[in-house]
Amino acid sequence: MSSPHLCSYADRADKHKNPAARALLQLMVKKKTNLSVSVDVTRKNDFLAIIDAVGPYVCLIKKTHIDVLEDYDQTVVEELQALSKKHEFLIFEDRKFADIGNTVALQYSGGIYKIANWAHITNAHAVPGPSIVTGLASVGLPLERGLILLAEMSSKGALTTGTYTEEAVRMARARRDFVIGFIAQHRMEGIGARETDDLTDEDFLILSPGVGLDAKGDAMGQQYRTPAVVVTECGCDVIIVGRGIFGTGRDIDVKEVQKQAQRYQTAGWEAYESRLSK
C-alpha cells in the first residue's frame, strides 16, 4: 500500500475503522477543509463567538482545556454542541490527559466537565505508558470516541523525541481501534515498528499545531510553520491554528476572523491538493 497521506481523505474515510476518525475525514471532504481552530480564550462569550465565526471553515474545533474558561457553566457545552451541529464540525477537547489509567478514566468520564459526553476527540500524553490508553478507551470506545496521542510537541526543548516518540507510536499501534492519530509534525506510520507488527491499513491522522502564515513564534517558546510545510512537505492531515485567526480573541471582528479562517482553510486545502498531485 502507499502511505496513507498520499491517498485522498475520502478513500481514507472509507477504510478507517474508528467512527470518530471516519466522521472527521468525511467532514473534511464535504467542507473541503483540513483546518482546526484552537480556541484558547478565557471568556465564554468570546469562545462561542469565535466558534460561530470560524465554524463554516473548519473540520474541528480544538479547545485548549475547557478549564481555562473563567465563566464556564453547563450552557457552554450545550451551545458548543449546537454550533457543532449547525456548522458541522467535530469537537476536540485538548485535555492532554497525562495520568495513570484509573485516574484518566475518572477525569474523562466524570467531574463537572464530563468530557467524554461531548468531545468527539480528545488527546493524551504517552508518558504514563499504555495504561493511559486502556483507561481512556474503557470510557471512550463505547461512545465511539477517538484518541489522539502527543507524539511530538512544537515547543522548544520538548522531550518528545527519539525513543519517546517511538514508544508513543507503539502504544497507538497496539490500540488502533481507539487511537486515531497524533499531535505531531510529520507522518508516524512505521515508526517504532517491530518485524512482527501488522502495519496493514495503518492510518494515523496527524494533527499539527504551531501553524502560522505570518507569525514566527512567541515569547514562551512556541514555534510556527506554514501550511505548505506542514501538509505538503511533512504530510500532516490537519492544521491547527489559533491566534493567527482570531488575534487576542476579545470582542472579535467577525468579518476579519472569517477572512483569516478562510485564508487558512484555502492554504491548508491547497497544500493537501498539492500533496495528492505529487
| Interface positions with a second copy (CB under 8 A) | 40, 42, 64-65, 67-72, 94, 96, 98-103, 105-107, 110-113, 125-132, 134-135, 150, 153-160, 162-164, 167-168, 171, 218, 220-222
Does 135 show up as a binding residue in the annotation?
A: no
> Does the annotation count 71 as an active-site position?
no
Q: Which of 242, 162, 174, 163 is nearest to 204 (CA)?
A: 174
Comparing CB distances to a second copy, the nearer of 27 and 137 is 137
How many Cα atoms occupy the beta-carbon half-sphere of 169 within 13 Å? 25
Diameter of the chain by CA atoms? 55
- Smallest gap, in angstroms, from Cβ of residue 140 to a second copy? 15
Burial category of 164 from C-beta neighbours within 10 Å (exposed 0-12, middle 13-18, buried 19 and up): middle
> Does the annotation count 203 as an active-site position?
no
Does 40 show up as a binding residue in the annotation?
A: yes
Does 222 show up as a binding residue in the annotation?
A: yes
Catalytically annotated residue among 15, 32, 44, 96? 96
> Does the annotation count 32 as an active-site position?
no
- Smallest gap, in angstroms, from Cβ of residue 191 to a second copy? 14
> What does the alpha-carbon distance between residue 177 and residue 18 come to, in Å, rounded to a whole number?
6
Find the distance separating the first CA and the last CA of the chain, reported in whole Å: 16
Does 255 show up as a binding residue in the annotation?
A: no
> What does the alpha-carbon distance between residue 234 and residue 128 come to, in Å, rounded to a whole number?
28
Comparing CB distances to a second copy, the nearer of 107 and 232 is 107
Burial category of 138 from C-beta neighbours within 10 Å (exposed 0-12, middle 13-18, buried 19 and up): middle
Catalytically annotated residue among 31, 46, 94, 203? 94
Catalytic residues: 94, 96, 99
Could you list the residues known to form a binding site, using ranges. Answer: 40, 63, 154, 222, 242-243
